[in-house]
Structure 1
Amino acid sequence: MSGIAIDSDSSNLSPAQLVREQADMLSAQLSAIREINYPPSSQKTMRVFNPQEAAKLLGISGSTLRGIEEDKFREFRRDERNNRTYSLENLWEVRKILSESGTASKWRKLLPTRSNGEKLQVLCVANFKGGSAKTTSATHLSQYLALQGLRVLVIDLDPQASLSSMFGLQPDLDLEQNATLYAAIRYDDERVPIRSVIRKTYFHNLDLIPANLELMEYEHQTPSAISSGAASGDEIFFRSIHNAVQDVADDYDVVIFDAPPQLGYLTLGALFAATGVLVTVHPAMLDVSSMNQFLNMLADLMQVIEENGGEMDLDFFRYLLTRHNPNDNPQIRCAALLRSLFPDNVLRNAVVESTAIANAGLENKSIYEIERGAVGRQTLERGLESVNAVNNEMFDLIKAAWGRDD
């Protein structure tokens, strides 16, 4: 049998050795680039907001913001013009100050954390087609909800760890063993409480469980655990993620999974844990055809859960159109097709194709993180308007699931 030739100067290496060598070379280069952008003595940080941006984010007037005395803030900075700047922590403090004031009823929406009787919302962002902006959508949604005053945990379930990279981690260098969700759902004596693998991020009120290739161990070990009976009863394989998340349910309002791009045991567990599913799709016929196969396989997985005694309870199932060019006729037709087929399930808003989002991604940043001036003002505002409209629609679905009418 003839092998597949791979061009290389390392002619004495086997294909596996060659790929390993190139992976090591790329890892070293990525590490060098990261040390330039984020030296070992520093960590990725979130930018601060000027008063106009802060008031807009909070949905209050500039005069209300200015009226809050500086001594109410733990830490406060000013820019080169001696104007206040607001960190994410400062925005959280503003929410608390106003919501606890004598006119608390007027400001109660500023602190929208869930109350007794409102269940934890667990959202699964999924698709197995590359280019659907699944990870970017999960990142933007998690950051938007944190900006709105919710306590958010985002869990990277993709062994490729793109979401972890967006939050400033290089998984092959920054993560020790047993540092992913796998550590909290594995079947042996090395299982640890989920709290031990949760990391604070530079984004206030937003915590992360990162990913790396270690997650693949769960896919490999689960069939054996099923055969041996280790994944049965209350520990049945599709309940493991749900059980782990419930251990920290009181700490968060929303949990968001960035599901892997394949329908395996991790995705199945995330689906069972979910109260809402968001399927990202680029409105092009090839992507829509791929999504058709994804939905068929997704239905099969859901049937497996049901046939094994699992009862799924989804508050919503939605499709999000991503990288949408509203001036592209084929995309317009694909979007119209989806909206005609699923009028109640396709989000009203779409994420438009944006150079602001693309440029931010080149630096492993979200559109919320890029500095003013990094891209053209109108370009940034169009991108933000699109992303905010989608995320606000998702926030409305969450509030509806909580039974709120605001």
Structure 2
Amino acid sequence: MSYTVSTLRTMTRSCELMRDRVKSVVFRPEDRKVLDVTFGPTAAAELVGRTPEALAKAEKEGRLAPPKQLGNGRRYYTLEDLTQIRNALNIHPGKAADEDAVVVAVQNFKGGVGKSTITKHFADYLALRGFNVLVIDCDPQASTTTMFDIQPETLIDEERTLGNFLSPRSTFDDFSQAIHDTAWPTIKIVPSSLGLQDAEWDLTATLQEGGQAVRESLQRLRIGIASVTKDFDVILLDPPPAMGFLGLNVMAAATGLLVPVPARQLDYLSTIHFMDTIAENIEILEAHGTPVDYGFIRVVCSTYTPSKPGEADMWKMMKATYANFLLSQPILASEEIKNATQAFRSIYESKPSASHATYQRCRDNLNAVFDEVLQQVREQWPSQSIATGTPDLLGSAAA
């Protein structure tokens, strides 16, 4: 074995040991993440769309079980309690049973823009509000998979994975069997695995066959999602950082696009190339019999620090450039988010690392951002849409 290979293997083993030590501290004494998320009466009522007084009345009438209590008399609810309240009061925040899930790809080719962090936080945000969410990690780096407490290397001998499903050589064709539970009752995940990169090569090899083989390779993820689209309200795709066959599968499967762009000049400029590349690849998909038509495309300014003059100027430029396509709220840079992700968690499942006020500002900011995205999602369901039928027009953006 060469010095280089030996060194890399040693470094890998060392990193794996440290990762396991970190996780043993974060999740002890359990081997798996266990959510410690509770809500007071006001927060619980807000999440289910009722007033605290309405919940108290329903509890008094026996339509709802009384909340749990701490030794000091403080009343609280768990995630499971919120689900039971929604069921008892016939509250259905998501789509109608006969409608399809909205499939949102959180996509940008540039690294470090926050794709995985946004995917994880948006999934948790939706789950808190009672939506059934499926996360599909299409990135071989598996950051989102790790955030949901699944170690990609444990799937190496598992045959029912996304990589095996996407590979044209595979006989595995039941997409639902690649779906795993998470610590969140209403979030499931198709994790990334070490074989996902091999699937990319298998998909690319169909170019030699041409015609129908290429068309099927481009639509494999779309076909898999179609088999479970009635089971979820929102399906989130965390794509790979490059546009190969995996990326094309994501583009073909998505019905909405959320593009994270930090307020930095290089990220802004790289997004120009990204948008052009996406358009070109959609044309490729359509040329191979795979039509793509997104219900919405939105840009979100990520990791924004308004006190930095350069970023403040870029934010103004982004508002002038993207206009109607830019979410009105940027995601503010926060140590709370950084600290939460280092502990393999989102803000929504972690405790404040600094002051409660700082934590709450961060959470309120994310809620405001995701409220806007959720409105776009709702517009895709006929049962909830308030759209006038007027599509987004590029001409609506400022020159």
For normalisation by structure 2, the TM-score amounts to 0.89
SS at match of 2:106: strand
Identity of matched residues, %: 27
**In the alignment, which of 110, 115, 118 is matched to residue 134 of structure 1?**
115
**In the alignment, which of 388, 391, 395 is matched to residue 374 of structure 2?**
395
**In the alignment, which of 362, 365, 374 is matched to residue 342 of structure 2?**
362
**Is the 8 Å Cα contact of residues 355 and 379 (structure 1) preserved in structure 2?**
no
**In the alignment, which of 41, 59, 62 is matched to residue 69 of structure 1?**
59
**In the alignment, which of 238, 248, 266 is matched to residue 228 of structure 2?**
248
Compared with structure 1, are the counterparts of its residues 296 and 229 closer, same or farther at alpha carbon in structure 2 (3 Å cutoff)?
closer
**Is the 8 Å Cα contact of residues 103 and 236 (structure 2) preserved in structure 1?**
yes
CA distance in 2, matches of 1:343, 1:80: 52
CA distance in 1, matches of 2:385, 2:177: 36
CA distance in 2, matches of 1:59, 1:392: 14
Q: Does 1:145 align with 2:126?
A: yes
- Displacement of 1:168: 1.4
1:59-89 superposed Cα distances (whole Å, 9 cap, x missing partner): 3222222334397678964323243321212
- Displacement of 1:180: 3.0
1:115 aligns with 96
1:105 aligns with none
2:276 aligns with 296
- Displacement of 1:366: 0.5
Compared with structure 1, are the counterparts of its residues 385 and 39 closer, same or farther at alpha carbon in structure 2 (3 Å cutoff)?
closer
1:209-255 superposed Cα distances (whole Å, 9 cap, x missing partner): 1112211011111122232359627x622111000001111211111
- Displacement of 1:198: 0.5
1:291-319 superposed Cα distances (whole Å, 9 cap, x missing partner): 22222322221121121122112100111
SS at match of 2:188: strand
- Displacement of 1:174: 6.0
Q: Does 1:15 align with 2:7?
A: no
SS at match of 1:350: coil
- Displacement of 1:92: 1.4
Unaligned runs of 5+ in 1: 1-11, 100-109
**Is the 8 Å Cα contact of residues 148 and 344 (structure 2) preserved in structure 1?**
yes
SS at match of 1:249: coil
- 1:322-401 paired onto structure 2 within 5 Å: 322-371=302-351, 373-401=352-380
CA distance in 2, matches of 1:405, 1:250: 18
- Displacement of 1:361: 1.3
- Displacement of 1:120: 2.2
CA distance in 2, matches of 1:175, 1:369: 28
2:394 aligns with none
CA distance in 1, matches of 2:220, 2:326: 30
Which region of structure 1 is more displaced relative to structure 2, 147-156 or 166-175? Answer: 166-175
**What's the Cα RMSD here?**
2.3
**Is the 8 Å Cα contact of residues 263 and 311 (structure 2) preserved in structure 1?**
yes
CA distance in 1, matches of 2:83, 2:297: 30
- The amino acid of 2:40's aligned partner reads N
2:33 aligns with 44
Compared with structure 1, are the counterparts of its residues 73 and 176 closer, same or farther at alpha carbon in structure 2 (3 Å cutoff)?
farther
**Is the 8 Å Cα contact of residues 222 and 231 (structure 1) preserved in structure 2?**
no
CA distance in 2, matches of 1:363, 1:92: 26
SS at match of 2:326: coil
- The amino acid of 2:319's aligned partner reads R
**Is the 8 Å Cα contact of residues 263 and 302 (structure 2) preserved in structure 1?**
yes
1:1-34 superposed Cα distances (whole Å, 9 cap, x missing partner): xxxxxxxxxxx84323321221122112212222
Unaligned runs of 5+ in 2: 387-399
SS at match of 2:344: coil
Q: Give the number of aligned pairs.
A: 383
Q: Does 1:238 align with 2:218?
A: yes
1:33-67 superposed Cα distances (whole Å, 9 cap, x missing partner): 22233247442122222223222323322222233
- The amino acid of 2:331's aligned partner reads V
SS at match of 1:232: helix
